[in-house]
Structure 1
Amino acid sequence: MGELANCPNCHAIFLRGTATVCLNCRKQEEEDFQTVYRFIRKKKNRTATVEDITKATGVDEELIRKFVKERRLHPAQFPALAYSCEKCGASIQEDRLCVSCKKTLEEGLKAHEQTSQALEQKKRENLSSGLTYYSVNSHKKS
């Protein structure tokens, strides 16, 4: 079940579930989507950039990028559409990170994994070489 939240656009209270904005803002987003889609469906506008679409339709650039990110507008059909990498801000057309940021993240994960494995190996070596138990006989025979 959803939770109560404030709409990030108009600050109205709504039940957050699959929707990230209130009903009124969602209706406005849908109208804006239709405006953008009608604009870029025209053959002469298919290669329009996000900035061009914003100027022609008046729809906010962030909202257009959101449509691309949500795959409502496909860069395969409209090659000039892109959105920002979540880490560095570079323009991308798929995923959440650009190729460079993905590579950096993967290298960091590999380095972390190697370090973790080396620490585990060292622990095992220390445990196996340092475990010697001695028993003390407290009942001495006289």
Structure 2
Amino acid sequence: MLSNCSACGKVFMKISKPVCPDCVRKELETVKRIRDYLKPKEKRTAPLAQISRDLDIPIRYIEYLIREKYFDLTRYPSLQYKCKNCDTLITLGEYCRSCSEKLRNNLLAAKEKAEKNEKDNDGSGSHFYKSRL
């Protein structure tokens, strides 16, 4: 299937990733640069800001690479990124445990409210056509 690369906009034959082969190659080169930077033991604990500054790679792009699981976080404990909601440092997913739990509780409450409203409206005759189907 033909698609536009989400990174550079070039048209390419999409197989799995939404980026063209050239951009995938650049992505892998960037991952290699970061791994080479982190190879010495004293650099393994470097924070993202320092890695970004030293290698001139945007922090958001490094966070994207971490989310794409290019790095073994047990080997590189400093590769943490911010929760999308509260900026707590995390190593997995999009949200920290606390925000995930709040989101889950809000969704459950909304579901219960919707089910209660649906149950309350079933006998009122407001769903004339629904009852005829």
| TM-score over 0.5 (shorter chain) | yes
**Which residue of structure 2 lines up, in the alignment, with residue 72 of structure 1?**
70
Give the counterpart of 1:35 among 10, 33, 36: 33
Distance, in Å, in 1 between the alignment partners of 2:119 and 2:60 is 49
Instruction: Give, as a single letter, the amino acid of the residue that structure 2 aligns with 1:24.
Output: D
Distance, in Å, in 1 between the alignment partners of 2:36 and 2:90 is 23
SS at match of 2:3: strand
**Identical amino acids, percent of aligned pairs:** 24
Of structures 1 and 2, the larger Rg is shown by 1
Gap regions ≥5 residues in structure 2: 125-133
Q: CA deviation at 1:107?
A: 1.5
Give the counterpart of 2:22 among 24, 27, 44: 24
Distance, in Å, in 1 between the alignment partners of 2:96 and 2:21 is 33
Q: Which moved more, 1:53-62 or 1:32-41?
A: 53-62
Q: TM-score with structure 2 length normalisation?
A: 0.77
- The alignment yields a C-alpha RMSD, in angstroms, of 2.2
Q: CA deviation at 1:123?
A: 4.2
Q: Residues 18-46 of structure 1: CA distance to partner in whole angstroms, max 9, x if unpaired?
A: 22221111111111111110111210101
- Change in 2 beyond 3 A, CA 1:4/1:91: farther
Q: Residues 34-73 of structure 1: CA distance to partner in whole angstroms, max 9, x if unpaired?
A: 1110111210101011111122223332222122111111
Does 2:79 correspond to 1:110? no
Distance, in Å, in 1 between the alignment partners of 2:8 and 2:118 is 52
SS at match of 2:114: helix
**Which residue of structure 2 lines up, in the alignment, with residue 92 of structure 1?**
90
Paired positions, count: 124
Distance, in Å, in 1 between the alignment partners of 2:66 and 2:110 is 33
Gap regions ≥5 residues in structure 1: 128-142
Q: TM-score with structure 1 length normalisation?
A: 0.73
